[in-house]
Structure 1
Amino acid sequence: MSGYSIAKNFDQYFRIKFASTKELQQEAYKIRYSVYADELGWEPSNDDKIETDECDDYAYHCLLEHRRTGTYAGCIRLIIPPGENPQYLLPFEQHCMDSLKREVLDTNTLPRGGFGEISRLAVLSSFRRREQEKNKPYILANVNPDTMYSEEERRNFPNIAIGLYLGGLALAAMCNHVGIMVMMETRLNRRLQRFGLPFDQIGEETDYHGRRAMFYLRKENFYRELNEQMRELYDIIEKELLTQISLHDYSADNTFKIPEIYRNPK
């Protein structure tokens, strides 16, 4: 469609939201539980129906809100290892260090507090457009008619994940990080490469919820090579986040301090 703007269309229906309160962070935990425990079975069930881990105490969290209904469609987090607490590890350091290609990048040389890992991307199943649903009515069970989604809204569902990724990148850029890590499938990396995110593979493929590898994106590539449509979307997301928060710049005193709202969040 000539002149069609993914960014403007996406912004019409969704908005990025920084989880600035424990209540908002709980919304992210609920989404994660729905996807990682209920749907995929990767995490154990619990009566609270929230999914958390120790990394949440030293991470920034974002939600994606569906404007019309106020429903949170998905979430993502940027985990930052505090420099003053070396025992706080990133997920890849806890589970995948044996697969690291140190000849490509020795992560021990990176400044603690000056880099992070994007993880726990989760999108509710009701906001995913599956191949077999393209020609069928998309009706959500047990919801009010005014919370059903129009065809125009559903057109944006495939862009939710990339919108959340760009939110994580914007957080890292606002913190002046030297780079970010992502544990992902190689086919997802190929898709991100097409968008203009030239991740370097710094780990061998390993069995971590499927075949995945560790990838690293350097600061200079956070948004410089994004294609025109994705750069427009990044700018909208970054602008929205800047109206909500002022993040700690790593270069200010070379430390990362855990935000007070994230201490003992449960």
Structure 2
Amino acid sequence: MTKYSIAENFNQYFKIRFADTKTLRQEAFKIRYGVYSSELGWEPENDQEMEFDECDDYAYHCLLEHRRTGVFAGCIRLIIPPPYAPDTKLPFEANCLQSANKEVFDTTTLPRGSFGEISRLAVLASFRRREKEKNIPFVLNNVNPETIYSEDERRNFPNIAIGLYLGGIALASLLKHQGMVVMMEPRLNRRLKRFGLPFQQIGEPMDYHGQRAMFYLAEKDFHKELTEPLEELYTIIHKDMVEQMKLVKYGKDSAFNIPDVDLSSHF
């Protein structure tokens, strides 16, 4: 029996999708609604059964598709200031700068458009294994076995969240970003470090659906410290993203790029 690597096995069952159409973005909003509104109650319910906010007007979304069924297992977004309004604040700038430790790292020194914020990572409940994990937005370890999925497929479910993170990082890399900011729990950061993603804490913990803090990942650390199996997975995801994206100049004389995608309408 052929023994596949983590990356090869994961790639057999899942594919990263760049949400370059209204339909695909709505799939991300539906996943977010299922997790953040219906399941967690963090966001209000609505008749459209989609969770979205003003940041989605200048955010780029990735989905993870289960190849055999075509079901989208999870989503993540990268928010960047739009070229027509480069001074637009990212969520952490609008809500969390008071907790920033500028002696560690000062994001205000970065050129606008050269960095973004990763947020709204969510994984469908059907792709999570353990009962006690049904009320958290994603997991990095273990998915309810009472599903239509085979045992081989379910072995890959623990990697869904890290696959989405790698998709967001690949997107930031293709956009030539200097770094990215994430609001997350310190314990999640410790897990990501074990995978080779050395996010640096740049803010004091604050209470927002639990203790969360600002973390920054510089471009030099996007994937160079990944463990060997995850570096292989990142290479596959990065290649998939390259094949799906068209890039245009961020500004008249800028070196930064943004995807050539119409984000003006979600519906």
User: Does the alignment reach a TM-score above 0.5?
Assistant: yes
1:107 to 2:114 alignment = no
Q: Secondary structure at the match of 2:247?
A: coil
Shift of 1:139: 2.5
Distance in structure 1 (CA, Å) of the matches to 2:83 and 2:211: 31
Spell out the pairing of 1:27-66 with structure 2 (5 A cutoff). Answer: 27-66=27-66
128, 139, 146: which one pairs with 1:139? 146
Q: Secondary structure at the match of 1:165?
A: helix
% same residue: 63
Q: How many residues align?
A: 256
Shift of 1:138: 2.4
Spell out the pairing of 1:1-266 with structure 2 (5 A cutoff). Answer: 4-82=4-82, 84-130=84-130, 138-140=145-147, 148-248=148-248, 253-254=254-255, 259-266=260-267
Distance in structure 2 (CA, Å) of the matches to 1:62 and 1:168: 7
Describe the shift of the 1:258–1:85 C-alpha distance in structure 2 as closer, same or farther (beyond 3 A).
Answer: farther
Describe the shift of the 1:245–1:106 C-alpha distance in structure 2 as closer, same or farther (beyond 3 A).
Answer: same
Shift of 1:41: 0.4
- Paired AA for residue 241 in structure 1: M
Describe the shift of the 1:188–1:224 C-alpha distance in structure 2 as closer, same or farther (beyond 3 A).
Answer: same
Alignment RMSD, CA only? 2.2
CA contact (8 A) 1:82 1:258 kept: no
Shift of 1:10: 0.4
Distance in structure 2 (CA, Å) of the matches to 1:131 and 1:154: 15
Shift of 1:87: 4.5
- Paired AA for residue 113 in structure 2: G
Distance in structure 2 (CA, Å) of the matches to 1:212 and 1:137: 27
Task: Kindly provide the CA deviation profile for residues 122-172 of structure 1, in whole angstroms up to 9, marking residues without a partner as x.
Answer: 000000111669xx98224xxxxxxx1011111111100000000000000
With the length of structure 1 as denominator, give the TM-score of the two structures: 0.90
CA contact (8 A) 1:10 1:156 kept: yes
Task: Kindly provide the CA deviation profile for residues 81-123 of structure 1, in whole angstroms up to 9, marking residues without a partner as x.
Answer: 1355145221111221111111111111111111001110000
Distance in structure 2 (CA, Å) of the matches to 1:100 and 1:224: 26
CA contact (8 A) 1:13 1:153 kept: yes
Describe the shift of the 1:77–1:219 C-alpha distance in structure 2 as closer, same or farther (beyond 3 A).
Answer: same
- Paired AA for residue 81 in structure 2: P
- Paired AA for residue 262 in structure 1: L
- Structure 1 unaligned runs (5+)? 141-147
Q: Secondary structure at the match of 1:62?
A: strand
Which residue of the partner structure matches residue 138 of structure 2?
none
Task: Kindly provide the CA deviation profile for residues 172-218 of structure 1, in whole angstroms up to 9, marking residues without a partner as x.
Answer: 00011000011111111111111111111000000122100000000
Task: Kindly provide the CA deviation profile for residues 42-73 of structure 1, in whole angstroms up to 9, marking residues without a partner as x.
Answer: 00000000000111111110100000000000
Distance in structure 1 (CA, Å) of the matches to 2:263 and 2:192: 30
Describe the shift of the 1:249–1:181 C-alpha distance in structure 2 as closer, same or farther (beyond 3 A).
Answer: farther
Higher relative contact order (CA 8 A, sep 6+): 1
Distance in structure 2 (CA, Å) of the matches to 1:254 and 1:112: 12
Describe the shift of the 1:56–1:237 C-alpha distance in structure 2 as closer, same or farther (beyond 3 A).
Answer: same
CA contact (8 A) 2:65 2:72 kept: yes
Q: Secondary structure at the match of 1:68?
A: coil
CA contact (8 A) 1:82 1:112 kept: no
Distance in structure 2 (CA, Å) of the matches to 1:107 and 1:16: 29
CA contact (8 A) 2:76 2:121 kept: yes
With the length of structure 2 as denominator, give the TM-score of the two structures: 0.90
User: After the TM superposition, which parts of structure 1 deviate over 6 Å for at least 4 consecutive aligned residues?
Assistant: none
Shift of 1:35: 0.2
